[in-house]
Amino acid sequence: MKSVRIGCIVGLCWVILAGCSKDRTESESESEYSRSDYWLSIPSSIDKSVDLFYLYPTAWMRTRDTDPVICDIDNTTMLKYSALAFARQADVFKTEANLFAPYYRQVDALYLLTLPQEEQDSVIGGIPKQDVLEAFDYYIKHYNQGRPFILAGHSQGSNLLLYLLAEYMKQHPDVYDRMIAAYVIGYSVTNRYFSANPHLKFAAGPDDIGVIVSYNTEAPEVGQPGNPVLIEGAIAINPINWTRDETPASREQNLGSIQLNADLSIVLDEDGEPVRIMNYADARINLSRGTVICSTANVDSLAPGSVLFGKGVYHSYDSPFYYFNIRKNAADRIAAYWSVH
């Protein structure tokens, strides 16, 4: 399935710095998602019975402290670097789903993740949430045509999916009934969140439907400043054996990881497909932290630490480590959905 992608290739959120372009008031976004240039991906043809709605992680940061903390939707750096994240994270679903991905105005991660949690929620719950809810509502009304769908995101994109799940799905139970699963990866989903949103549920195994799948990947030891996307009470599921206890999954059980270039683009074979790396990443849940522990990756080269993330936080590799496991799991959950619909 070929998609129309607006923008160029992307890098990871906190690596690339750029300023915002133009200002846009909140009211101006009400009908903008009718424009193709507000979409990173719109399928040129619908050839699958299932859709994916994807939200990319932070693809922009400020160059000066005096710049706005939220970039505009036509920010050139965000347009460029959101596409690489799309290739790393959304393309895993391309064998199973029609891929939809809107652009949205996002927050500078260096600013956002240093705020207290309540203030983070307030900032994310403003303009970024408004864009995402508007985009999804437009997608449902104009593109979806009643098909079942998967939600997927990473980092800031996953944070925003939590608002979509909590608010839109509660208000539209008929839409929620068509949700196969929500892959809310690279951000924390907590017990407190489910207490506040009893209409939602976390995945219990490999093929239950209407559920949230979430985890953050770490090495056995994490250095300072720690993991800023990890919230107390986080819940995780193992992306190899799809259990929620501490049963380890060996790297030999992994269906395949993908390798990234220095710019975080995917290493491709001669056919333009991701090179499958076998026997690389294992997985075990740490119940006390609510994370997935990978003990077999090279922490010095892949997660040496940064101003935001301590050494050992495999944030960029949440999907690449378990790429082909996620692909098969999506297929399994889709099959389970059709078995009861």
pLDDT at 8: 33
Is the pLDDT reported for residue 14 higher than 90?
no
Residue 264: name the closest of 317, 196, 326, 322 by CA.
317
pLDDT band of residue 31 (cuts 50, 70, 90) is: low
pLDDT tens by residue, 320-340: 999 999 999 999 999 999 999
pLDDT tens by residue, 168-198: 999 999 999 999 999 999 999 999 999 999 9
The pair of structure tokens assigned to 340 is: 């009861």
pLDDT at 11: 34
Question: Mean of the pLDDT values across residues 155-168?
Answer: 97
How far are the Cα atoms of 79, 163, 164, 209, 210 from residue 125, in angstroms, in the given order?
22, 8, 10, 27, 23
pLDDT tens by residue, 54-111: 999 999 888 888 889 999 999 998 998 899 999 999 999 999 999 999 999 999 888 8
Q: Could you say which DSSP state residue 283 is in?
A: B
Phi and psi of 268, rounded to 5°? Answer: -110, 155
How far are the Cα atoms of 47, 69, 179 from residue 144, in angstroms, in the given order?
13, 32, 12
* Cβ pair 299, 305 in contact under 8 A: no
First to last CA, the chain: 24
The pair of structure tokens assigned to 24 is: 């846009």
Question: Mean of the pLDDT values across residues 232-260?
Answer: 97
Q: DSSP for 199-243, please give it.
A: T--B--SSS-SSEEE---EE-SS--TT--TT--TTB----TTT--
The pair of structure tokens assigned to 166 is: 């909590």
Is 55 strand, coil or helix?
strand
- Sequence length of the chain is 341
